[in-house]
């Protein structure tokens, strides 16, 4: 194939991204982008030694749903961007998410043996490899956001700062710390406290993903705010549904242990709202998330489907 043909093929592939697709297709596309970009990142570093470290890093990234990558790609698409501009940011947030899962699974944290149907990193390798693979995925995420293909430096820096805050003590790590503290508290968390845990532990990264496309496109404030609100509602619905699945889910479909929170007597959305109340709340949030995107019209249909998927999934 000549270079011109390759570039033509690439152009067609990128043009195809502007077609409205179903959520399952878009999610599959996000997974393909993750694999292709991850291959490219590590191919570019073919000289890198440290085989077990790199194997553990890449192992942790594979097999995920790619929900956060999807949000980056799709929020980019409705703002007129192809994965040529958004792909590295999609991979960056999956690296960040993968690192957090590795560390959350450690014996000193949630102590889980299985993740996504496979042994967790510290079970497959060992604890120090798990700590270090997580430690190395985090800076790699920031590294990718500095790539000039994303846009001018001002945009890259905005992505970096946003991801840093979403990941840090006021975001994901802060939420995880509060979540672990829940297990040794005398009084269970209130509903507001559970929401605060969720907003940090999973919400911040989901919001960053849902708004990343608007940031990269340098979209107007209205577009950014609409996606921000969508991300907030979606993230909360996602967590509520996780609590529902922890009761109703099947360990095999989930690829990890279920019923752990209930067994520990930990406060959850279900313990506060009841199973039906939690489901109702999640459904309301999905409607609110969908409505938040009115400004984008039909273009946002895939994001709306994604929100509905969140409360229909069984894993």
Positions touching a second copy (CB under 8 A) are 45, 48-50, 52-54, 57, 100, 103, 106, 108-109, 126-129, 131-132, 134-136, 138-140, 142-143, 145-146, 152-154, 156-158, 160-161, 163-165, 167-170, 173-174, 176-178, 180-181, 196
Do 115 and 256 form a contact (C-beta atoms < 8 A)?
yes
Distance of CA 70 to the CA centre of its chain: 8
Q: Which is nearer to a second copy, 109 or 257 (CB)?
A: 109
**CB of residue 250 vs a second copy: minimum separation in angstroms?**
29
**CB of residue 162 vs a second copy: minimum separation in angstroms?**
9
**CB of residue 200 vs a second copy: minimum separation in angstroms?**
9
Q: Which is nearer to a second copy, 54 or 262 (CB)?
A: 54
Long-range residue pairs from 35-42, CB within 8 A, at least 24 positions apart, any chain: 35/62, 36/87, 37/87, 37/88, 37/90, 37/91, 38/91, 41/91, 41/140, 41/144
Instruction: Provide the residue count of the chain.
Output: 315
**CB of residue 208 vs a second copy: minimum separation in angstroms?**
12
| Alpha helix ranges (H) inside the chain | 3-16, 23-43, 51-61, 67-77, 83-104, 121-124, 127-145, 153-167, 172-181, 191-198, 204-216, 221-248, 251-254, 260-263, 269-292, 301-310
Q: Which is nearer to a second copy, 197 or 286 (CB)?
A: 197
Q: Which is nearer to a second copy, 80 or 168 (CB)?
A: 168
Q: Which is nearer to a second copy, 54 or 245 (CB)?
A: 54
**CB of residue 135 vs a second copy: minimum separation in angstroms?**
5
């Amino acid at each position: 194939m000549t270079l011109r043909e390759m570039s033509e093929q690439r152009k067609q592939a990128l043009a195809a991204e502007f077609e409205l697709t179903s959520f399952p297709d878009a999610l599959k596309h996000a997974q393909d982008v993750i694999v292709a970009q991850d291959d490219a990142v590590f191919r570019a570093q073919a000289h890198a030694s440290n085989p077990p470290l790199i194997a553990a890093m890449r192992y942790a990234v594979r097999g995920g749903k790619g929900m956060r990558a999807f949000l980056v790609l799709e929020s980019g698409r409705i703002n007129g961007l192809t994965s040529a501009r958004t792909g590295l940011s999609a991979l960056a947030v999956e690296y960040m998410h993968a690192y957090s899962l590795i560390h959350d699974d450690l014996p000193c944290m949630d102590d889980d043996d299985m993740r996504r149907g496979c042994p967790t990193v510290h079970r497959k390798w060992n604890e120090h490899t798990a700590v270090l693979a997580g430690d190395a995925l985090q800076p790699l995420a920031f590294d990718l956001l500095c790539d000039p293909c994303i846009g001018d430096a001002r945009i890259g820096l905005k992505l970096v700062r946003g991801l840093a805050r979403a990941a840090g003590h006021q975001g994901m790590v802060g939420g995880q710390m509060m979540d672990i503290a829940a297990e040794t508290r005398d009084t269970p968390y209130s509903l507001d406290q559970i929401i605060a845990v969720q907003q940090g532990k999973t919400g911040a990264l989901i919001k960053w993903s849902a708004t990343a496309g608007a940031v990269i496109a340098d979209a107007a404030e209205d577009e950014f705010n609409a996606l921000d609100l969508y991300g907030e509602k979606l993230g909360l619905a996602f967590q509520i549904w996780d609590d529902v699945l922890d009761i109703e889910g099947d360990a095999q479909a989930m690829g990890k242990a279920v019923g752990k929170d209930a067994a520990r007597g930990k406060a959850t959305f279900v313990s506060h709202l009841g199973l039906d109340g939690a489901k109702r709340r999640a459904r309301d949030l999905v409607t609110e998330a969908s409505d938040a995107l009115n400004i984008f019209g039909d273009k946002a249909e895939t994001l709306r489907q994604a929100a509905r998927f969140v409360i229909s999934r069984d894993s």
